[in-house]
């Protein structure tokens, strides 16, 4: 699945899965330097989640 | 499915209530299930199977044998030849241990056939990863994380696999070469050829088993090409004898009592030095090299003990996974991947319920 349909990812996976993927990503790349926003939407650092 | 849903809820409660958990399916890999306390043998059955789509979904502790039987009704199979199915091995255990058999050479391993997984993570959450279709590439590939995870990321409940049509027929040639060097050379020549060998195993020092699968009409020609390439005629096996030969290798029937089974990832180039190191022992150390010299299966005599095996691994720069026998920890030798696994473990299992420390040697 490409960037274009990224917004539909939460429809395929649930809230719990999206949150888990997010945390897995941050465990490996806490500063989100690698390909930010390609697989998961980047989280804005004020804590609001655009990926819900 | 209502039965499974109720059982899933019960397992989630168990995960939340316990601080130390290791799932056990059939216990066919005792060095890995070890002190396991979460018995899952009732979690069995094929939930969905669509022969037209070449995919199935089964509960995690479904015996491989049961799956093989269901697939065989449609002339389909799991081409990575999962080991130990006669001994009751389950689908989930095969994934957790990351084990593939001789067919990995031609078709890829367990990781290449796993499409989706549902599991309970260390927080007791039910997680779905991957998908139920062959073309799915959304999100992170959570199913891949489960391959070789040894249960440290969660309790697998359901697994979705893709399958292949079974080759119409097989033929196997047993070649007796003059020496280990000769066998390794021939092995490399066969892998580099256009013969599309299904499986290629070495029984050291110098016996090669070469398996070809495909249409019955094409096999005689391919066999002739093979013999021409290696410059000698071998002992040709067909039919039930041929099937039984590979079945026996998948079950490690060559392993004798008093030996612990180990899987050692190797390269063809590492075989000669390893063989030389093993020649230094008086004890019988039964072994086979599979997947064209990329996996060593070795029976370590219990009488030799763990320390001497660790020393052998250090000297050879190899690592190993213990399948049976008594070991202080199933992961032996250098494990650089543990750093990555531990980071993932912090996310999937923040309280360390599935990683009580015994995966790392102290």
Asked if residue B2 has pLDDT above 60, the reply is no
Asked if residue A44 has pLDDT above 50, the reply is no
Backbone angles phi, psi at B227, to 5 degrees: -65, -35
Interchain pair A39, B344: CB under 8 A = no
Residue closest to B352 by CA, chosen among B88, B8, B122, B31: B122
Q: Work out the minimum CA distance from B337 to partner chain A, whole angstroms.
A: 13
The first and second tokens of residue A46, run together, are: 């004020």
Q: Report ipTM for this prediction.
A: 0.84
Backbone angles phi, psi at B85, to 5 degrees: -65, -35
Identify all chain B residues contacting A14, using CB atoms and an 8 Å cutoff.
128
Nearest residue on chain B to A21, judged by CA atoms? B140
Interface test with chain B among A5, A10, A24, A37, by most B beta carbons within 10 Å = A24
Q: Tell me the longest C-alpha to C-alpha distance in chain A.
A: 28
Of A12, A16, A39, Cβ closest to residue B140: A39
- Owner of token pair 């119409």: B168
Interchain pair A16, B346: CB under 8 A = no
Average per-residue pLDDT in chain B?
95
Residue B214 is given by DSSP the state E
Cβ proximity of B281 and B258 under 8 Å: no
Asked if residue A52 has pLDDT above 50, the reply is no
What is the structure's pLDDT at A48? 47
Whether residue B218 is preceded by a cis peptide bond, meaning omega within 30 degrees of 0, is no
A29 touches chain B (CB under 8 A): no
Exposure pattern of B116-145 as b/e (b: 16+ CB <10 Å)? bbbbbbbbbbbbbbbbbeeebebbbbbbeb
| Cα angle, residue B109 at apex, residues B103 and B113 outer, rounded to 5° | 110
Q: Work out the minimum CA distance from B316 to partner chain A, whole angstroms.
A: 30
Nearest residue on chain B to A2, judged by CA atoms? B138
Residue B193's pLDDT band, with cuts at 50, 70 and 90, is very high
Asked if residue B131 has pLDDT above 90, the reply is no
Of B125, B126, B138, Cβ closest to residue A1: B138
Cα B297 to Cα A12: distance, rounded to the nearest angstrom: 40
Identify all chain B residues contacting A23, using CB atoms and an 8 Å cutoff.
347
A17 touches chain B (CB under 8 A): yes
Residue closest to B131 by CA, chosen among B155, B102, B159, B97: B159
What is the structure's pLDDT at B104? 98
The first and second tokens of residue B241, run together, are: 């004898």
What is the structure's pLDDT at A9? 78
Average per-residue pLDDT in chain A?
77
Asked if residue B154 has pLDDT above 50, the reply is yes
Asked if residue A5 has pLDDT above 90, the reply is no
Q: Work out the minimum CA distance from A34 to partner chain B, whole angstroms.
A: 14
Three-class SS of residue B355? coil
Backbone angles phi, psi at B160, to 5 degrees: -115, 130
Q: Which domains does chain B have, with CATH numbers?
A: 2-165 (3.30.465.10), 169-250 (3.30.70.920), 259-333 (3.30.70)
Report pLDDT digits (tens) over B244-263.
999 999 999 999 999 999 99
Identify all chain A residues contacting B115, using CB atoms and an 8 Å cutoff.
none
Cα B159 to Cα B99: distance, rounded to the nearest angstrom: 15
Report pLDDT digits (tens) over B21-38.
999 999 999 999 988 999
Interchain pair A13, B125: CB under 8 A = no
Nearest residue on chain A to B135, judged by CA atoms? A1
Interchain pair B137, A1: CB under 8 A = yes
Q: Work out the minimum CA distance from B346 to partner chain A, whole angstroms.
A: 8
Identify all chain B residues contacting A11, using CB atoms and an 8 Å cutoff.
none
A16 touches chain B (CB under 8 A): yes
Q: Mean pLDDT over residues B1-28, rounded? A: 90
Q: How far apart, in Å, are the Cα atoms of A14 and each of A9, B30, B60, B114, B133?
A: 9, 36, 21, 20, 18
Asked if residue B200 has pLDDT above 70, the reply is yes
Report pLDDT digits (tens) over B231-246.
999 999 999 999 999 9
């Amino acid at each position: 699945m490409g960037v274009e349909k990224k917004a539909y990812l939460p429809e395929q996976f649930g809230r719990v899965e999206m949150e888990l993927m997010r945390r897995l990503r941050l465990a490996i790349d806490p500063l989100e330097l690698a390909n930010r926003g390609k697989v998961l939407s980047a989280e804005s650092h004020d804590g609001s989640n655009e990926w819900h | 499915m209502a039965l499974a849903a109720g059982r899933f809820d019960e397992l989630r409660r168990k995960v939340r209530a316990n601080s130390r958990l290791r799932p056990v399916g059939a216990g066919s890999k005792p060095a890995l299930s070890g002190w396991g306390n979460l018995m899952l043998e009732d979690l069995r059955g094929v939930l969905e199977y669509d022969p037209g789509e070449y995919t199935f979904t089964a509960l995690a502790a479904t015996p491989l044998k049961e799956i093989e039987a269901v697939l065989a009704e449609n002339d389909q199979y799991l081409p990575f030849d999962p080991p130990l199915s006669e001994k009751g091995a389950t689908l989930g255990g095969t994934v957790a241990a990351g084990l593939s058999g001789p067919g990995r050479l031609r078709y890829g391993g367990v990781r290449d056939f796993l499409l989706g997984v549902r599991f309970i993570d260390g927080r007791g959450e039910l997680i779905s990863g991957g998908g139920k279709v062959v073309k799915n590439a959304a999100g992170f590939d959570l199913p891949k994380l489960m391959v070789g995870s040894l249960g440290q990321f969660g309790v697998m409940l359901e697994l979705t696999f893709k399958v292949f049509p079974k080759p119409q027929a097989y033929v196997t040639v047993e070649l007796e070469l003059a020496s280990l060097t000769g066998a390794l050379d021939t092995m490399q020549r066969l892998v580099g050829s256009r013969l599309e060998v299904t499986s290629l195993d070495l029984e050291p020092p110098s016996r090669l088993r070469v398996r070809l699968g495909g249409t019955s009409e094409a096999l005689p020609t391919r066999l002739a090409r093979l013999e021409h390439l290696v410059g000698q005629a071998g002992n040709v096996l067909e039919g039930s004898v041929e099937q039984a030969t590979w079945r026996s290798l998948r079950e490690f029937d060559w392993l004798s009592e008093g030996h612990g089974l180990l899987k050692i990832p190797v390269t063809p180039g590492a075989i000669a030095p390893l063989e030389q190191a093993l020649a230094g022992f008086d004890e019988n150390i039964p072994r086979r090299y599979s997947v064209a010299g990329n996996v060593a299966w070795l029976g370590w005599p219990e009488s030799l003990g763990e320390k001497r095996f660790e020393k052998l691994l250090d000297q050879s720069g190899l690592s190993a996974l213990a399948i049976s026998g008594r070991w202080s920890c199933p992961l032996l030798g250098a494990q650089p991947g543990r750093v990555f696994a531990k980071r993932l473990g912090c996310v999937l299992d923040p309280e360390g319920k599935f990683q009580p420390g015994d995966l790392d040697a102290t």
